[in-house]
């Protein structure tokens, strides 16, 4: 047999023969006398013939000639993303499938973390997750890995930071780029390895030593493949944008430069993309939400636009912000800085005393913000009644008081319809100049933050509803109903505490969740039930179909208010302007129908990446913070119960684990139904929401874990 093209035809002809009995790959190799070193080529040939639908493979891995009558019955081939586990097995995430597929270690077949793979379903074990086997690697998903370099005499290897990766990466000494022990490096994979061989790679970047300031965060940035530097073409385009708005840009816009308006943000915010204005007349509130018109400067398909789409969102890490747009735009011409003319898209709403939007318009405007306010300052004015602050902003105080009034009305209306508000504590980690954590403080969610939150929510709802009824292509922010199984489990669990929920056809109205949270407020089980309710929720995402937002209990919702830091908002602004300017003809509609599904799915994926990176940097700094508190005692709340131990969260949101083997003086059993760890002999219980005193035993920066043990009675509390 001269080549594999001929061999492919021989394989097909063999399987067509009436005497052929379905065989596994190994049996075919023996029959065709394929040498061991050629087995990989046989596998490749079989995969290619499978893809051509000339042959088929059974659930038992046996190959036969393709038969359309039985092919679907014999095998269901599904494409998804492989997620590896350090213990060798993995999972495959499939779009539209509720539960991931489990891939046993012997069915991984060379798949690597984040590969796009084709899998074949296996027989489902009773009561367990559906299993599958990887039968084809369609596209490699991991090209580079970040890790710690360790050197031997004639070679090196890299221990990946990503705990999902099971194996170290072998580095030939000539491809180590001079890295030494303890260097954090970026490795390009040159070989993904096999059952008998480790993956191999070459060092392409040295980030610095593991103990150098900032290297820990940069390792996470690189590990998530977050783009930092902008391509030269993007920066050149940004530099050509003027520092001030041009008079020509104001043509055809509503001029609201004389309307009194303010921005309200955190002290350190520099990308100010929303301003608010409010007047009250004859019992009606005239609310203006004015959003920076970023789309005026970021044209579709431009280098700036492609880079923004590639980033999807600004990423807010513990020590830095990685912006979606260059600072020239995000902190400059697009930022609604006080005292300068700016271009905006304004949602102008007339709202009655019941919180109903009785009239609205969406306009291209030119504005000039009167004051750059902070949450702290507005809180001083409204909550603290600080005389100095009220005197300083005396002309604006009446407007702030009216804003507080309107926000309360909007919040009451939202609550009445069932909007859910999970009020879990959030914290900010403060670092010193060397990047070491010095303090973890809770965010101050006050009257000012609530005003902005309420005004942005109503603007987003109004815009979404407007374009839904126009039946135009659009990007919505949707939040699906919770998983029925999780809701049933939650309903059964809360029944033990004397609570109940109305669940119809395995669905629950958001109002029922809201009522439940109100009932448990202030009770001993509040933390427990609130956490379980949150865990039963699905993740919000961007879609082109308006399926409603469960958490907000509304039918129409979108993201319109942050185009500087979120790509979907920028995309929506373009749609709005095409509609305002009468350009939404059939050709333009076809264009949006073609591109928006990809924009929505990519934006959802990149949002999750940003959230994971943010979570990892926070975990890292929390571990580093707790290093200084080893041996100290804290009071915390049981935040998770698993078969391997219990998780405890401290008031500063630091979470650590007590391994089941370290629970005091008993053999403990995990009760999955009750979310409890129960002592077999003593009956001692540890359950979700329970308050416990813990001692910090150890920390691990590499694994980003904190280990607690239960504190003794006479241990002093920190």
What is the residue range of 499's domain?
484-537
Q: How far is CA 1 from CA 7, 203, 508, 716, in A?
A: 7, 40, 64, 79
658 and 703 assigned to the same domain: yes
364 and 288 assigned to the same domain: yes
Angle between helices 586-627 and 567-580 (to 10 degrees): 160
Gap between the Cα atoms of 351 and 263, Å rounded: 20
Q: Which region among 174-178, 326-330, 482-486, 502-506 has the lowest average model confidence (pLDDT)?
A: 502-506
Q: How far is CA 388 from CA 86, 377, 391, 393, 449, in A?
A: 59, 10, 5, 9, 21
Q: What's the full length of the chain, in residues?
A: 718
393 and 272 assigned to the same domain: yes
397 and 381 assigned to the same domain: yes
Residue 673 near residue 641, CB atoms below 8 Å = no
- Tell me whether residue 445 is in a domain: yes
Residue 403 near residue 278, CB atoms below 8 Å = yes
- Tell me whether residue 50 is in a domain: yes
- Tell me whether residue 226 is in a domain: no
Per DSSP bridges, beta strands 633-642 and 645-649 are: antiparallel
Q: Which among 43-52, 62-71, 647-656 has the top mean pLDDT? A: 647-656
- Tell me whether residue 622 is in a domain: no
pLDDT band at 4 (very low <50, low <70, confident <90, very high): low
The total number of structural domains in the chain stands at 6
Q: How far is CA 335 from CA 62, 243, 325, 354, in A?
A: 62, 11, 11, 33
Q: In the prediction, which pLDDT does 688 show? A: 80
Nearest CA-CA partner of 490 in 541, 525, 522, 539: 525
pLDDT band at 73 (very low <50, low <70, confident <90, very high): very low
467 and 494 assigned to the same domain: no
The CATH number given to whatever domain includes residue 176 is 2.40.50.700
364 and 447 assigned to the same domain: yes
pLDDT higher for 598 or 487?
A: 598
- Strands (E) in 395-534, as ranges, are 427-431, 437-442, 476-478, 503-504, 507-508
Residue 527 near residue 637, CB atoms below 8 Å = yes
- Tell me whether residue 621 is in a domain: no
Query: pLDDT, tens digit, for every residue of 433-446?
Result: 889 999 998 777 89
Query: pLDDT, tens digit, for every residue of 254-274?
Result: 999 999 999 999 998 889 999
The CATH number given to whatever domain includes residue 16 is 1.10.10.10
- Tell me whether residue 683 is in a domain: yes
Q: Mean of the pLDDT values across residues 120-130?
A: 74
500 and 610 assigned to the same domain: no
pLDDT higher for 491 or 363?
A: 363
pLDDT averaged over every residue in the chain: 89
- Residue 87, Cβ density class (10 Å: 0-12 exposed, 13-18 middle, ≥19 buried): exposed
Gap between the Cα atoms of 342 and 333, Å rounded: 7
Kindly give the residue spans of alpha helices, DSSP state H, lying in 130-247. 215-223, 232-239
DSSP state of 129: P
pLDDT higher for 27 or 647?
A: 647
- Tell me whether residue 364 is in a domain: yes
- Strands (E) in 307-426, as ranges, are 315-316, 321-322, 341-351, 357-368, 371-374
Q: In the prediction, which pLDDT does 389 show? A: 96
């Amino acid at each position: 047999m001269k080549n594999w093209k001929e061999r492919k035809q021989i394989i097909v002809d063999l399987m067509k023969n009436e005497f052929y009995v379905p065989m596994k790959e190994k049996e075919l190799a023996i029959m065709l006398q394929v040498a061991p070193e050629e087995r990989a080529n046989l596998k490749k040939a079989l995969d290619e013939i499978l893809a051509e639908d000339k042959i088929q493979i059974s659930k038992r891995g046996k190959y036969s000639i393709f038969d359309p009558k039985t092919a679907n019955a014999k095998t269901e081939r599904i494409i998804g993303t492989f997620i590896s586990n350090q213990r060798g097995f993995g999972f495959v995430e499939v779009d539209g499938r509720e539960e991931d597929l489990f891939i046993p270690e012997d069915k991984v077949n060379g798949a690597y973390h984040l590969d796009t793979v084709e899998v074949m379903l296996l027989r489902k074990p009773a009561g367990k997750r559906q299993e599958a086997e990887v039968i084809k690697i369609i596209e490699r998903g991991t090209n580079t890995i970040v890790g710690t370099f360790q050197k031997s005499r004639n070679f090196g290897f890299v221990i990946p930071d990503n705990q999902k990766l099971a194996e170290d990466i072998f580095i030939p000494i000539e491809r180590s780029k001079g890295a030494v022990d303890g260097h954090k490096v970026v490795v390009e994979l040159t070989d993904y390895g096999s059952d008998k061989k480790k993956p191999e790679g070459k060092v392409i970047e040295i980030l610095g030593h593991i103990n150098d300031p900032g290297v820990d965060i940069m390792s996470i940035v690189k590990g998530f493949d977050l783009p930092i530097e902008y391509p030269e073409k993007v920066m050149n385009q940004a530099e050509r944008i003027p520092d001030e708005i041009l008079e020509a840009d104001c043509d055809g816009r509503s001029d609201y430069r004389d309307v009194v308006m303010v921005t309200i943000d955190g002290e350190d915010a520099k990308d100010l993309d929303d301003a608010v204005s409010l007047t009250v007349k004859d019992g009606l509130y005239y609310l203006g939400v004015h959003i920076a018109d970023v789309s005026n400067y970021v044209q579709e398909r431009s280098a700036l636009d492609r880079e923004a789409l590639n980033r999807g969102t600004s990423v807010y890490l513990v020590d830095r912000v990685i912006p979606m747009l260059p600072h020239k735009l995000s902190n400059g011409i697009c930022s609604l800085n006080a005292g300068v003319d700016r271009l905006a898209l304004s949602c102008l709403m007339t709202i009655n005393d019941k919180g109903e939007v009785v009239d609205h318009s969406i306009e291209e405007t030119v504005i000039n913000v009167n004051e750059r306010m902070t949450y702290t300052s507005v809180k001083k004015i409204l909550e603290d009644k600080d005389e100095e602050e009220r005197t300083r902003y005396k002309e604006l105080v009446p407007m702030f008081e009216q804003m507080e009034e309107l926000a309360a009305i909007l919040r009451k209306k939202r609550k009445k319809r069932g909007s859910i508000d999970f009020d879990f504590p959030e914290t900010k980690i403060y670092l010193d100049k060397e990047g070491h954590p010095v303090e973890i403080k809770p965010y101050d969610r006050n009257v000012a933050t609530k005003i902005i939150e309420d005004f942005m929510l109503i603007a987003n709802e109004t815009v979404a509803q407007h374009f839904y009824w126009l039946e135009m292509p659009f990007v919505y922010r949707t939040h699906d109903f919770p998983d029925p199984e999780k809701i049933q489990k939650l309903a059964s669990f809360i029944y033990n505490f004397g609570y109940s929920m109305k669940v119809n056809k395995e669905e629950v109205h958001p109002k029922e969740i809201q009522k439940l949270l109100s009932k448990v407020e202030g009770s001993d089980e509040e933390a427990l039930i609130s956490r379980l309710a949150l865990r039963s929720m699905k993740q919000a995402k961007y879609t082109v179909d308006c399926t409603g937002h469960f958490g907000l209990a509304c039918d129409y919702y979108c993201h319109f208010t942050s185009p500087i830091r979120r790509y979907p908002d920028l995309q929506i602004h373009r749609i709005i302007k095409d509609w305002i300017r009468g350009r939404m003809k059939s050709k333009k509609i076809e264009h949006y129908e073609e591109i928006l599904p990809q924009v929505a799915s990519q934006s959802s994926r990149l949002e999750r990446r940003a959230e994971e990176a943010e979570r990892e940097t926070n975990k890292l700094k929390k571990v580093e913070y707790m290093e200084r508190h080893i041996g100290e005692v804290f009071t915390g709340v049981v935040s998770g119960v698993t078969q391997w131990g219990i998780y405890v969260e401290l008031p500063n949101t630091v979470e650590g684990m007590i391994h089941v083997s370290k629970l005091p003086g008993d053999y403990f059993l995990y009760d999955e139904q009750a979310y409890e760890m129960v002592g077999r002999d003593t009956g001692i219980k540890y359950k979700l929401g329970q308050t416990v005193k813990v001692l910090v035993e150890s920390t691990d920066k590499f694994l980003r874990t904190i280990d607690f043990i239960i504190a003794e009675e006479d241990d002093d509390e920190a």
